[in-house]
Amino acid sequence: MTGSGTGKRGLSLLTLGLTAALIYPPARAFSQEATANPPESHEQGFPVTDQLTISKCGTCHQADAKGNLSRISWIRTSPEGWEEAIKRMVRLNGVSLTPEEARHILTYLSDYHGLAPSEAEPVENYAEHRMTDEKFPEDADVRHACGACHALARPLSWHRPPDDWKLLVNMHRAFFPSSAPIAFGDSGRRAGGGAQGETTKDKLPAVDVALAYIEKAAPLHTAAWSNWESSMSNPKLAGRWLVWGKQAAKGKFFGEMTIGAGASPDMFTTQTKGHFVDDPSRVVTAEGASIVYTGYQWRGRSSASQEAGSPDDMKTAREVMLISADQSRMHGRWFWGRYEEFGMDVSLRRAVDGPTVLGTDVSSLRAGTTGNKVTIYGDHLPAGVSASGIDLGAGVTVTKVLSATPSAISVSADVAENITPGMRTITVGDIAAPDALAVYKQVDFIKVIPVESLAHLGSATHTKGYVQFEADGYCYGPDGKPNTADDIDLGPMPAAWSLKEFIATYGDDDVKYVGAIDAKSGLFTPASDGPSPTRTSMRNNYGDVWAVATVTPDGSSTPIEGRSYLIVTVPQYLIYDQAEVDQ
């Protein structure tokens, strides 16, 4: 990228434009080292054809006779990856970009040097800012060489040829020297924790084991990208969409979103309204704007009309979703908070003229119970439907229709004593919603979500980072074992919440200082960042504890306990997207 302009000017433009709305466009007012690589060492690259990208990036990234720019033509990644690269060029190489130029380059690179849907789906947790257990290799060296510092989804969201992956490793060694001995195994110490001089089973440093995996998992050229790039177009999304999903501790919600055309074919406006079934009076309305990258990656920003009453109430949210190939569905996460710790799991479905069944207000029903009230949510539901026209699955009998509107039907249902536990498909007439309801005989164990979590201390000058916990009930599947693929998720259950000491050092006293958890809602609020005058050596209030949920299931007098490992650490003092030199 060109180095014209001063570093301060470039960074000022970055922070004013890129950081505010590079990937996520501003919400509508509501009713509120470029290294030239030898061409012969590369696979075939992807030529850069956009003139603005060539003019801004071509000074350092040299062009060849085929129109390839060094490094850039041999990389594919997500919008977040290209945004990170553009910011790095501004910070380190002094490139000068207006916000409009930066957004143009970002859109071009995301569209023509991006990821296919099947490549983005496994790593979408990174773009969604989820705290989650990644389902990637169990090999300790692969996980540690990259995962010691960041999510494995981060490198796996970049597709490069083998020699470019090696350049990335060298960049880490230069910019982050501690990564070599700690994570890469350069010192001869195995990353997984072996003795000095011990290497992996293949007698290779951990970083080489990780590279072998990543080169195979994220190659530059794939059939998926070739097929998607050849058929990619801007999606046609304008119209009415049905929205449903859940927010931890708030429960399920249902609503609709109206999508309108934006300033360009890849931009859209949104108006959303929905309510939470546990508290129908709690209605959320929002307006926003979005851009779709690569023909399927929705990145939006919306603002809610109501004032936030508690930290986990949505005020301004970022929206990360994937659009299905037939443009009839979307799914993803909307999130907010200083550390993006609050959010909703959402699904969208394009509204049609006929009836649609989305789901129910309850997640599960227990065997041998009668008179269960179940509300089925959807669109254009038949008003005159009878009990015989509604099926909640094997072993569940609908005895009466309590009420019916086009968007919700409430029924009374009995569950047989002798049922086979599992998921049930519900149908209204001939319209079905698969796996919408679970039936069970007993709750076998509790899983606290998230399983592992991170909170940040705070103060008047540093916003706290909260954690919202939820206790999900499970029953064993056919194998009779917990934490296996056939476990049956029964949904959230009321729990009594507490903190317990995680014994890590002699005389641990973390539970006294790290903060407090709401006994009913499971919201953990961290303490101030200290120092604490009553603590040994006047330490800060950091520490690690167990967040414990105690659940007494319906039909049982025996409590079941689940726990999550919670680390409470210092605030994020350095914010990389702030205007560091824009004083």
Residue 550 has pLDDT above 80, yes or no: yes
Q: Is residue 297, in this structure, part of any structural domain at all? A: yes
Q: End of a domain among 189, 221, 253?
A: 221
- What is the domain-level CATH number for residue 365? 2.60.40.10
| pLDDT of 579 above 80 | no
Q: Is residue 228 part of a domain?
A: no
The total number of structural domains in the chain stands at 5
Write the pLDDT tens digit of every residue in 213-240. Answer: 999 999 999 999 999 999 999 999 999 9
| Residue 133: per-residue pLDDT | 77
| Residue 269 is assigned to a structural domain of this protein | yes
Q: Which of 303-312, 339-348, 381-390, 489-498 has the lowest mean pLDDT?
A: 303-312
Query: What is the model's pLDDT at position 364?
Result: 97
pLDDT tens for 286-300 read 999 999 999 999 999
Structure tokens, 367: 């065997």
Same domain, 308 and 398: no
Q: Categorize the per-residue pLDDT at 18 as very low, low, confident or very high, splitting at 50, 70 and 90.
A: very low
Least-confidence region, from 105-119, 144-158, 546-560: 144-158
Kindly state whether residues 268 and 284 are assigned to the same domain. Answer: yes
Residues 176 and 246 occupy one common structural domain: no
| Position 576 in a domain | no
pLDDT score for 2: 38
* Residue 334 shares a structural domain with residue 294: yes
- Say if residue 583's pLDDT is above 80: no
Closest CA to 26 of 270, 349, 383: 270
Using CA atoms in the order 143, 146, 152, 156, what is the torsion angle rounded to 10 degrees? -120
Q: How confident is the model at residue 27 (pLDDT cuts 50, 70, 90)?
A: low
What pLDDT, on the 0 to 100 scale, is given for residue 576? Answer: 61
Owner of token pair 């509604």: 390
Do residue 108 and residue 134 come from a single domain? no
In a domain, 328, yes or no: yes
Q: Please write the tens of the pLDDT for every residue from 488-499.
A: 999 999 999 999
What is the overall mean pLDDT for the chain? Answer: 88
Q: What is the mean pLDDT of residues 4-25?
A: 41
The strand pairing partners of 356, in sequence order, are 379
pLDDT in tens, 98-142: 999 999 999 999 999 999 999 999 999 999 999 887 877 777 888
Mean pLDDT of 453-461: 93
Looking at the structure, tell me whether residues 429 and 365 fall in a common domain.
yes
CA distance 193 to 177: 19
Residue 481 zone, left/alpha/beta (φ > 0; ψ -120 to 50; rest): beta
Q: Are 338 and 464 in contact (CB under 8 A)?
A: yes
CA distances from 465 to 317, 455, 456 (A): 16, 5, 4
Cis check for the bond before 117: say yes or no (omega within 30 of 0): no
Pair (15, 110) in one structural domain: yes
* Domain final residue, candidates 83, 116, 149: 116
Tell me, yes or no, whether 52 and 39 share the same domain: yes
| Residue 574 falls inside a structural domain | no
The answer to whether residue 152 sits within a structural domain is yes
For the ranges 67-71, 149-153, 267-271, 564-568, which has the lowest average pLDDT?
149-153
What is the residue range of 454's domain?
Answer: 445-569
Find the range with the poorest average confidence among 20-29, 314-323, 453-462, 484-493. 20-29
Beta bridge partners of 424: 437
State whether 252 and 345 are in the same domain. yes
Q: What is the pLDDT of residue 144?
A: 83
Task: Note whether residue 575 is domain-resident.
Answer: no
Q: Are 143 and 151 in contact (CB under 8 A)?
A: no
Kindly state the tokens that stand for 79. 């919008």
Mean pLDDT to the nearest integer, 334-345:
94
Average pLDDT over every residue of 446-452: 95
Domain boundary among 91, 116, 141: 116
Q: Tell me if the bond preceding 79 is cis, omega within 30° of 0.
A: no
Tell how far CA 205 is from the center of its chain.
Answer: 31
The answer to whether residues 307 and 365 belong to one domain is: no
- pLDDT category at 43 given cuts 50, 70, 90 is confident
Mean pLDDT value across residues 365-389: 96
Same domain as 129, residue 81: no
Q: Which residue has the higher pLDDT, 306 or 300?
A: 300
CATH label of the domain that carries residue 284: 2.40.128.120
Whether residues 320 and 381 share a domain: the answer is no
The helix-helix angle for 162-175 and 206-217 (nearest 10°) equals 140
